[in-house]
Amino acid sequence: MRLILLGPPGAGKGTQAKMLTEKLGVPQLSTGDMLREAVAAGTATGKKAKAVMEAGKLVSDAIVNAIVSERLDHKDCARGFILDGYPRTLAQADALSAMLRKKRKPLQKVVELVVDDDALVERIAGRYTCAKCGEGFHDKFKQPRNAGTCDKCGGTEFKRRADDNADTLRVRLFAYYKDTAPLTGYYHAQGMLRKIDGMGDITKVKRLLAAELGKGQKRRT
Ligand code: AMP
């Protein structure tokens, strides 16, 4: 399955993408994760992206397009991929279409997770991850079963993203509505966009997404 998950920061794209990778056997391609790795590794790309990300603004199209194009050639994308956080501008969407045409791997689904702004702020303000395995948790919605211990790997160190604060979030939401929201029209015009209600809890959204992804599968494969 070649899929894009669309939606504002905090909509649950990353959480749902992670769960889908296991079910579909395809990787999650999160440009945010890739950029954070580049920043942590101190690569040339990371150095260019660091300040922009900390401010909540968008990294240049040229940088993210190059990262995604290279990543799509990895063997694990042969059966498909879940794009999470990319494309984020119309220019990126055009670049992606051109890349996929060239690689003869057309998109199959674009699903938007629809969530109210107030809920986004609450979700983002409370989220954190295991420093060892990256499993996601939330102060209110998903606490570890044993306090202070990761359910998945037993790690005891957790971290919060530098850009998950109220000020940066405002800038990120502005960037979303200005640059990324027009993509819903872009994919709608191509007859590809599906919307699901992202306001429910993780399990409910997972069920809605599975139902949406199941539609038309027999015809397509
Ligand atoms: P995310 O993890 O998707 O919330 O992304 C975190 C930050 O990485 C964003 O606020 C941007 O600064 C940068 N970023 C991630 N993906 C993109 C993209 N497709 N285009 C531009 N900047 C991006």
* Whole-number pLDDT of residue 125: 87
What is the position in ligand 1's atom list of the atom closest to the CA of 55?
12
Global confidence as pTM: 0.90
**Residue 5: what are its φ and ψ, rounded to 5°?**
-100, 120
The two structure tokens encoding residue 162: 């530098």
What percent of the chain is helix, strand and coil (3-state, nearest 5)? 50, 15, 35
* Whole-number pLDDT of residue 217: 64
* Whole-number pLDDT of residue 66: 96
Residue owning the nearest CA to atom 19 of ligand 1? 86
Residue owning the nearest CA to atom 10 of ligand 1? 56
* Whole-number pLDDT of residue 221: 40
- pLDDT tens for the chain, 221 residues: list them: 999 999 999 999 999 999 999 889 999 999 999 999 999 999 999 999 999 999 999 999 999 999 999 999 999 999 999 999 999 999 999 999 999 999 999 999 999 999 998 889 888 889 999 999 989 999 998 999 999 999 999 999 999 988 888 888 889 999 999 999 999 999 999 999 999 999 999 999 999 999 999 887 654 44
* Whole-number pLDDT of residue 219: 47
Chain CA centroid to CA 23, Å = 17
* Whole-number pLDDT of residue 220: 44
Residues with CB under 6 A from ligand 1: 9, 31-32, 35, 52-53, 56-59, 64, 85-86, 88, 92, 163, 172
3-state secondary structure of 179: helix
The two structure tokens encoding residue 207: 């069920």
* Whole-number pLDDT of residue 169: 87
